[in-house]
Amino acid sequence: MKPQFSTFAAMIKKPLLFLPLFALACSAPNKDNMEDVVNVYTHRHYETDKALFALFEKESGIKVNVVMADDDELLSRLDAEGANSPADVIITADAGRLGLAEQRGFLKPIHDSTLEANVPAHLRDPEGNWFGFTMRARVVAYDKNKVAPEELMTYADLCSPRFKGQILVRPSEHVYNQSLVAAMIAHFGIDSATSWCKGIVANMARDPKGSDTDQLLAIGEGLGSVAIVNSYYIGKLMKSDDPARQKAKNAIAVAFPLMQNDREGEVLTPGIGTHVNISGGGVAAHAKHEANAIALLRFLSSDASQAAFADGNMEYPVKPGIPAAAVLQGFGRLIPDTLDLSELGRHNAEAVKALDAAGWR
Amino acid sequence: MIKPLLSVHDLHFAHVRGQEVLAGTSVEVQEAEVLVVVGPSGCGKSTLLRCIAGLEKPSRGSVTMAGNALTDARSFIPPEARGIGFVFQGLALFPHLTVKGNIAFGLNGLPASERTQRVRDELRSVGLVDLADRYPHELSGGQQQRVAIARSLVRRPKLMLMDEPFSDLDPKTRSEVRTEVMRILRANKTAAIIVTHDREDAFHVADRIAEMDHGRIVRVAPASEFRSEWTQHPFQEV
Amino acid sequence: MHLPQNFRSRSIIGGLAVLMLLPLVVVITSPFHASAPEWDHVMRDILPSHLLETLRLVGLTVLLALLFAIPSAWMVSTLDFPGRRLFRWALVLPLALPTYICAITFGSLLGPTGAFSRAISANTGIHIDIMTWPGLSLVLALALFPYIYLPARVAFSAGMSPHLDAARMLGGGAWKRFFRVAMPLARPAIAGGALLVAMETLNDYGAVKYYGVRTLTAGIFRSWGGLYDVGSALRLSGVLLLLVISLITLERSVRRRAGQESSHRPVTGAPLYGWKSAAAVIWCIVLFAVAFLLPVASIALDAFRTMKDLRFLQFLPALGNTLLIGLLAALATILIAVAFAFAERSSTGTNRLTNWASIGYVVPGAVIAIGVMAFAGWLTHVTGIVIIGSIVLMVYAFSVRFLALASQPLRAGLKQQPKAMDEAAHLLGSSPWRTFRQVNLPLLRPAIIAAALLVLMEVVKELPLTLILRPFNFDTLSTKVFELARIEQWPDAGVPALLIVLCGLFPVLVLDRLLERRTR
């Protein structure tokens, strides 16, 4: 008698045999080292980037392979992969993480005249480990019916009793809140930065929650009159035609506060502008396609790419002479803080401690 | 005296952290003899069967069948290699196999043709030919009982162990099944140890009866001897 | 018991268990090998607040989930009212919604600037804000209550009828029958479900981050990403593990105190009339509408609005990848779970190992990823085979993460098979492996399918492991949703989010059918 369950056992056994084959087939893209490819680990997940990669592929004939994940996880992956890492280019959205990648030896210094010409010196690593491609300013959006622009000359102005119960901001878990405080620590020291954080917490309209866009929408609903947000979210909000966002669009104006630890200070320290962070990248230490990697970095610093970052993604281009998006220009001129960007990574942990000490959720 | 088929000597068994269930049990079974074990619940009847079958390993003592040691201080033959049949209380038929499938289960390793033949013979001898393709839940209690017995007998064991084999049946079926089981056992000349708490069952099937209490066999005697005693004290619990 | 193949099977099972445990061992032993420079700060300023918020979030979520699940399960199992049969399966559907999608959707409707909140405040002047910790509990409970509802429904339906009938004959009214008979009998099933809800809540990262609730998982990421201190992050994971182990112990003790199911005769529903019937119908309609219809309608609306701009076809590869990785992961996890079930059934003496191997379910995906990558990096170092960024490693990581989910139905299924059946097979000359393959396994088929579906469903929803371990150019539906949600273009995520829900609906419905068949 043939047992009826033999088919069942076979059902389990057969796929087991196919499993490794299947997996090999699926992971095939990793194997094409000989081909003209460039392997990118990136934290950026924008349609603009995808379009630019596609354009690069068309122009250069080099295929762009992408893994997109969060900065810290990408760094962990690089760590585990070591010398076997397939990555050629590493792109993050935070100067602190670029500094960290450099410290841990994930990047390789590059000296390339095109890149050095396109990216201003303070927006790249002096050794050539990484290059910034776009700037994002941490600005203050305000309700133009309730607040006058003169009231928001400096970040310290936000701590004024004038804004009690008025400040909208996302949780301190977000890297751009951390890097803003890191910049303050670099300029004025930990004590000053901590008391600034306390001042913000004391003036909050509500517990921090939601995204930057949610803070902007909250202004529209009158839940607060000032919001600390990233510049490009304002640009995106302004471009949106969603009727639910109309109220916020009508209400908002933008201040570009300057770095200043003392609200009463009469003279602003020259050169301390609005806090910016960058997104940028470099060549991976164990890149197998170094020439292709440099080609891609050059391409990202070119006029065409810089204009696409500005218009498509509402970021500030780094290349001199390329204008920011018209919407953002309409709100005023950005004078970026020229702080050495590697300082941001150096003070990030302290920044988190200051935020925790102030009770900024 | 004739050499016994099975001899159990001084078995000791205790559950983890428990008191001794078997406390020096000894008993013998002759070829083709039916021995019924009676005793109050918890006296160790079922454990005795499980130790003979090799489902439990006693801490001390020996089990010998046809001169071969099954369990002693040095060796322990695994249950599947002992050539002993076991009919469980509740039967433990395989619900996903047909009557035929259940009976064929124990005939692994035989050529297919021989296996088919033996299953067919067995079905005929227990009168289940017409029900060969049914599933256990489609059978009556008596029919299920016969499948359970046939499943064990098909392997031609020298000894059958049966744990409360008639307890789940109604009175009428019960006496039918009893007769049927005895017919099959006698026809195959199979020795058996049957555990029950029912005196009537004991009288009807036993050659000898063993009385068990607190993990010991306290008395073994021909069934007739017990019969006369029990008729005098009909209400005493065994 | 003497087993001829004991040594071979023991080494295979042991090897598998070690493989499942390795990434977690990296995490648990981290206090001994990874330095944690910021640990003092974490102990003082992160751990106390985050632990407190974790405990109250988990507590309230489980409480609310019980509140949603038990009355519903009781009503659809033992009472009769219009629509009962429909609600019976409809209330399982929220299981197809990932918690992060639920959280964002409810935020976009009832958050401080949500569509409903604005309408309400315009008409009444009352400001509604669901984006608080009790609000998050509510959202999580709505998404997770079917984890309790399903086993409770099975418990109330199967095996309970003789006890309920007996209680009725003894003069027990409906309330007494519920509290004195049904609840105590169903307690193990309910405790198991509540444990799943608690674990899912502990593991969540997307929703807590968006709502600004500081749970231990959020603290892990804060230490890792903010303090640049992986050592402290791993230590916090250790604290999380301790919390989970105590929850498991609690669940075990609740389980042990309860009795066994006995009969399989279905309970016949006692008809309800008048206002009682109306109340039952309203309860079920409201729960179903809020937990499922509302979020799905909102997602569908977003999908519909953005469909004209997005090329729908661009999501097809992601859909294919999602199903591929889901099926492979389900297959691998089931094979391992079956091997472990065999080990437990035939007592190979590896139980302690296999029990521990299930703990991956509660470790945050990103932490498992660290462990898995550390292991893979070591493997590469030793053998030269690069497996990071391959499907193999993803499947491995998913097996580590979801083994518990697959093991649970298998264990429950095996428990229902009488041990005497195995012994009968034994005495009929069958080896332990043959007994398992030809007796236990065929009977286990529904449980195996249920387990595979659970894993498939979770992999479709899973995000952090997929995100970090995936090969080049490998998008799944959940990474698509993440990319779009991350850049704060939530409505654009409508199409992939809807596809995730649809992918999840199928396994959920089959699962429901399977459980129903077991009950009948």
Note the pLDDT of residue C303.
86
Of the candidates C390, C110, C109, C172, which has an alpha carbon nearest to the alpha carbon of residue A84? C390
Q: What are phi and psi of A115, to 5 degrees?
A: -65, -40
Q: Going by C-beta distance under 8 Å and a sequence separation of 6 or more, which residues neighbour residue A104?
A: A75, A78, A79
pLDDT in tens, B37-55: 998 888 889 899 989 988 8
Q: Where are the domains of chain C?
A: 1-33+309-520, 49-301
Mean pLDDT over C496-501 rounds to 89
**Model pLDDT, residue C325:** 93
* pLDDT one-digit tens code per residue, A131-182: 999 999 999 999 999 999 889 989 999 999 999 999 999 999 888 899 999 9
The pLDDT of residue C36: 82
Alpha-carbon gap: A7 to the closest alpha carbon of chain B (Å) = 14
Whole-number CA gyration radius for chain A: 24
- Using pLDDT thresholds of 50, 70 and 90, give the confidence band for residue A130: very high
- The domain defined by A34-134+278-325 folds into D-Maltodextrin-Binding Protein; domain 2 (3.40.190)
* Banded model confidence at residue C348, pLDDT cuts 50, 70, 90: low
Yes or no: say if A254 and C506 are a contact pair by the CB < 8 Å rule.
Answer: no
The C-alpha atoms of residue C440 and residue B97 are separated, in whole angstroms, by: 12
Q: Mean pLDDT across chain A, nearest whole number?
A: 86
Q: Give the pLDDT confidence of C47-91 residue by residue, as tens digits.
A: 999 999 999 999 999 999 999 999 999 888 888 888 888 998 899
Of A1, A4, A5, the CB nearest to B115: A1
Structure tokens at C455: 């894993």
What was the pLDDT predicted at A1?
Answer: 35
Residue in A closest to B116 by C-alpha: A1
Task: Write the residue in C222, C389, C441 that is nearest to A173 by C-beta.
Answer: C222
Query: How remote is the C-alpha of C202 from its chain's centroid?
Result: 11
Regarding predicted confidence, which is higher, B164 or A283?
Answer: A283
Cβ-contact B12, B23 below 8 angstroms? yes
To the nearest whole angstrom, how far is the Cα of B79 from the nearest Cα of chain C?
5
Q: What pLDDT, on the 0 to 100 scale, is given for residue A8? A: 38
Q: Say whether domain A136-274+332-358 belongs to CATH 3.40.190.10.
A: yes
pLDDT at C170: 62
Q: What is the pLDDT of residue C166?
A: 63
With an 8 Å Cβ cutoff, are B119 and A3 in contact? no
Chain B residues lying within 8 Å of C4, measured CB to CB: 78
Q: Tell me which of 1.20.1250.20, 1.10.3720.10, 1.10.10.10, 1.20.120.330 is the CATH number of domain C1-33+309-520.
A: 1.10.3720.10
> How far apart, in Å, are the Cα atoms of C307 and each of C86, C98, C108, C271, C457?
31, 21, 19, 46, 25
pLDDT digits (tens, 9 = 90+) for A206-260: 999 989 999 999 999 899 999 999 999 999 899 888 888 888 999 999 999 988 7
Judged by average pLDDT, the poorest of A89-93, B119-123, C488-492 is C488-492
Q: Which tokens sit at B16?
A: 């983890």
Q: At residue C336, does pLDDT exceed 60?
A: yes
Q: Distance between CA A292 and CA C243 in Å, rounded?
A: 49
Residues of A within 8 A of B100 (CB-CB) are: 1
Mutate to test the interface with B, among C6, C416, C426, C427 (most CBs of B within 10 A): C427
- Looking at per-residue confidence, does B173 or A62 come out higher? A62
- Which pLDDT score, from 0 to 100, does residue A281 have? 95
Q: Which of C149, C143, C135, C293 is nearest to C203 (CA)?
A: C143
**Inter-chain residue contact C426 with B155, CB threshold 8 Å:** no
- Alpha carbon distance A220, A224 (integer Å): 9
C-alpha closest to that of A263 among A333, A205, A199, A182:
A199
What is the bridge-based pairing of β-strands B34-38 and B191-195? Answer: parallel
Identify the band that residue A342 occupies on the pLDDT scale cut at 50, 70 and 90.
confident
For C53, residues 6+ apart whose C-beta sits below 8 A from its C-beta are C133, C213, C214, C215
ipTM for this prediction = 0.81
Q: Is B151 on the interface with A (CB under 8 A)?
A: no
Q: What's the whole-number average pLDDT of chain C?
A: 83
CATH superfamily of B1-83+158-238: P-loop containing nucleotide triphosphate hydrolases (3.40.50.300)
Give me the pLDDT at residue A9, please.
42
Q: Min CA distance, B66 vs chain C (Å)?
A: 18
Q: Which fold has domain C49-301?
A: MetI-like fold (1.10.3720)
Which residue from B57, B80, B93 is facing C427, i.e. has the nearest CB?
Answer: B80
Beta carbons of C220 and C233 less than 8 angstroms apart: yes
Facing residue for C426 by CB, picked from B76, B79, B152 = B79
Indicate which of A353, A355, A360, A361 best probes the interface with C, i.e. most C CBs within 10 Å of its own CB: A353
Please work out, in degrees rounded to the nearest 5, the angle formed at the alpha carbon of residue B29 by the alpha carbons of B23 and B30.
160
Q: How far is B173 from chain C (nearest CA, A)?
A: 24
CA atoms of B141 and B144, how far apart (whole Å): 5
> What residues in B contact C431, CB-CB < 8 Å?
80
Q: Which of the pair, C252 or A354, is modelled with greater confidence?
A: A354
* Chain B residues touching residue C430 (CB < 8 angstroms): 80, 105-106, 108
Closest Cβ–Cβ partner in A84, A212, A353 for C45: A353
A1-15, C113-127, C288-302: segment of lowest average pLDDT: A1-15
Distance CA A294, CA A114 (A): 10
Q: Are A153 and A348 in contact (CB under 8 A)?
A: no
| Residue C499: alpha-carbon gap to chain centroid | 19
* Domain assignments of chain B as residue spans, ordered by start: 1-83+158-238, 95-156
Is-same-fold flag (C1-33+309-520; C49-301)?
Answer: yes
Residues whose CB is less than 8 angstroms from the CB of residue C8 and which lie 6 or more positions away in sequence, other chains included: none
Which pLDDT score, from 0 to 100, does residue C478 have? 87
**CA-nearest residue of chain A to C437?**
A9
Among A66, A207, A210, the residue with its CB nearest the CB of C210 is A210
Listed by start position, the domains of chain A span 34-134+278-325, 136-274+332-358
Interface chains of chain A (3 or more CB pairs under 8 Å): B, C
- Tell me whether the CATH fold assigned to A34-134+278-325 matches the one assigned to A136-274+332-358: yes
Mean residue pLDDT across chain B: 86
Highest mean pLDDT among A8-12, A45-49, C57-61, C489-493: C57-61
Degrees (nearest 5) of the Cα angle A273, A275, A277?
Answer: 135
Rounded to 10 deg, the angle between the C99-110 and C133-144 helix axes is 130
pLDDT for A310 beyond 90: yes
Q: Which residue has the higher pLDDT, C133 or C226?
A: C133
Q: Pick from C112, C225, C474: which is nearest to A72 by CB?
A: C225
Q: Is A111 helix (H, G, I), strand (E, B) or coil?
A: coil
Interface with A, mutate which of C128, C336, C472, C475 (most A CBs under 10 A) = C472
Are B185 and B28 within 8 A, CB to CB?
no
A221 close to C (CB below 8 A): yes
Amino acid (one-letter) located at A278: I
C488 with A213: Cβ contact below 8 A? yes
Residue C480 main-chain phi, psi, to 5 deg: -65, -45
For residue A229, which residues of chain C lie inside 8 Å, CB to CB? none
- Of the residues A173, A219, A286, the best mutation for testing chain C's interface (the one with the most C CB atoms within 10 Å of its CB) is A173
Q: How far is A85 from chain B (nearest CA, A)?
A: 52
Q: Regarding beta strands B191-195 and B20-29, do their DSSP bridges make them parallel or antiparallel, or are they unpaired?
A: unpaired
Q: From chain C, pick out residues whose CB is under 8 angstroms from the CB of A210.
A: 107, 111-112, 131, 210-212
The DSSP bridge partners found for residue B153 are none
Nearest partner of A132 among A104, A99, A173, judged by Cα: A99
Average pLDDT over residues A177-206: 93
Cα–Cα distance, A320 to A314 (Å, whole number):
16
How many Cβ contacts (< 8 angstroms) between chains A and B?
11
Closest partner CB to A173 (pick from C218, C335, C473): C218
- What digits encode the pLDDT tens for the residues C255-284? 665 544 444 445 566 677 778 889 999 999
> What is the rounded CA–CA span in Å between residue C147 and residue C141?
10
